[in-house]
Amino acid sequence: MTNESNSNLPKTAQDHETAPEQESISPRKGLAGVAVVLVAAAVLAGLGVLHRVHASAVLAERTTELAPPTVLAAAPKPGAPVTSFELPGNVTALTDAPIYARTSGYLTRWYFDIGARVRKGALLAVISTPEVDQQLAQAQADLATAQATANNAHIQADRYAGLVKSDAVSRQDTDTFVNQAAATAAAVRSAQANVARLRDLQAFEKVYAPFDGVITARTVDTGQLIDTGAGKELFHLQATQTLRVYANLPQIDSANVKPGQKIDLSFAEHAGKLYQGTLVRTADAIDPVSRTLLVEVDVDNRAGELLPGSLAQVHFKTPTAGPTSIIPAAALIFRKEGLRVGVVVNGKIAHLVPVVIGEDDGANVQIVAGLNPGDQVIQDPPDSLIEGEKVQVVSPSNAGGR
């Protein structure tokens, strides 16, 4: 009866009767699910923490490894016992002189043009000076007059000197004629000096070569007015049998050159050929502007192959004062304290060493003081390198793998 009555109840009522049983089972299942989720979350969180801790440790270790800058270090190359270098040299003639006129007039004729080789005393040109010729004629006439006057005064003085002994003439008249003879004699000497001066001026009408050489310039022509003095150069004469070559030697090498040394010279117009000269003298003083020593090298040019005014390359060979080292120019560090080179101490510490450089060809630099043969020189130091900084050294053989 009861079952039937229950079956006849509405479905909604049945659901109400079974609901308490379902409500008693669902909370336990929900709690279990939450627990699983929490455990999974805890595991994931733990794994994340462990991963982060491991990553931080790896990062710290890698940062420690990469903190020191990586540098390439190598020992410097030993320098040569003799330093060879070239310097430009100015070539000049042994004797170089402009030729001027000593008298005024018109150029009548010239005999040699540029490039002519002349001997000492050769006639170069003739100047016409009619005024000087007339002045000489007048001076010669004045000399003749002075000589006649002096001769007459001398005769009178001798006559009175003889008569005064017998008291035939007074002592005063005798002294007058004697003094007159002395004055006229002085006038004769003055006239003679004037004649000699004008004869010298007349001799300057002919211009002669003062030494053996080559005419390198002619600035006058026939009929041109010539003035006395250095206002107008007639010719330029150079003695080219021996040439002087002047070069400016750096102060650091000035103590290694002595007169008498043989020096090689080369010229662009004679490629592949060397000429030997002799260092004959130095200025014995350092130029305070360029800090160089002026040296003179004389070279034989009797063959006439070399030309004054050209540019020569002077090949110097000087012994080094002591052991030197060669390093790349990129290894130099320019600081306000002065020039420095970085070396590695104890395999990991950077030390900045003050150095003195010698020869510099742009790619490599000669170090004359400051480095030892066994020093490990940092080849291309970073700009930020400081004294005492730790560095990581890479040998040249492993440099390509960096």
CATH number of the domain where residue 363 is located = 2.40.420.20
In terms of domains, do 61 and 159 share one?
no
In terms of domains, do 109 and 186 share one?
yes
In terms of domains, do 110 and 206 share one?
yes
**What is the average pLDDT across 231-258?**
91
* Statement: residue 149 has pLDDT above 60: yes
Cα–Cα distance list, 146 to 6, 19, 141, 194 (Å): 190, 175, 9, 12
* Statement: residue 380 has pLDDT above 80: yes
- 61 or 262, greater pLDDT: 262
In terms of domains, do 52 and 146 share one?
no
**What is the average pLDDT across 279-308?**
94
User: Which pLDDT score is estimated for 15?
Assistant: 46
> How far apart, in whole angstroms, are the C-alpha atoms of residue 310 and residue 314?
12
Q: Which of 159-173, 331-345, 383-397 has the lowest mean pLDDT?
A: 159-173
Residue 351: inside a domain: yes
* Statement: residue 10 has pLDDT above 60: no
In terms of domains, do 167 and 75 share one?
no
| Residue range 250-284, pLDDT digits in tens | 988 888 889 999 999 999 999 989 999 999 999 99
* Statement: residue 12 has pLDDT above 60: no
User: Among the three residues 66, 92, 124, which one is the final residue of a domain in this structure?
Assistant: 66
User: Which pLDDT score is estimated for 245?
Assistant: 97
In terms of domains, do 57 and 107 share one?
no
In terms of domains, do 115 and 188 share one?
yes
* Statement: residue 312 has pLDDT above 60: yes
Q: Which two tokens stand for residue 212?
A: 């053996």
In terms of domains, do 41 and 128 share one?
no
In terms of domains, do 34 and 110 share one?
no
For the chain, the domain total comes to 3
Residue 52 belongs to domain spanning: 21-66
| Residue range 151-165, pLDDT digits in tens | 888 888 777 777 767
**What is the average pLDDT across 178-188?**
86
User: Among the three residues 199, 218, 237, which one is the final residue of a domain in this structure?
Assistant: 218
- 232 or 41, greater pLDDT: 232
Residue-averaged pLDDT of the chain: 83
**What is the average pLDDT across 349-367?**
85
Packing angle of the helix pair 171-203, 130-163 (nearest 10 deg): 160
Q: Check which CATH number belongs to the domain holding 183 and give it.
A: 1.10.287.470
* Statement: residue 293 has pLDDT above 50: yes
Nearest to 83 by CA among 245, 329, 257, 244: 257
Q: Which of 142-156, 257-271, 387-401 has the lowest mean pLDDT?
A: 387-401
* Statement: residue 94 has pLDDT above 90: yes
Phi, psi (rounded to 5 degrees) for 27: -60, -35
* Statement: residue 359 has pLDDT above 80: no
Residue 50: inside a domain: yes
Residue 121: inside a domain: yes
User: Among the three residues 218, 253, 273, which one is the final residue of a domain in this structure?
Assistant: 218
Residue 49: inside a domain: yes
Sign of the Cα pseudo-torsion (362, 364, 366, 367, in order): positive
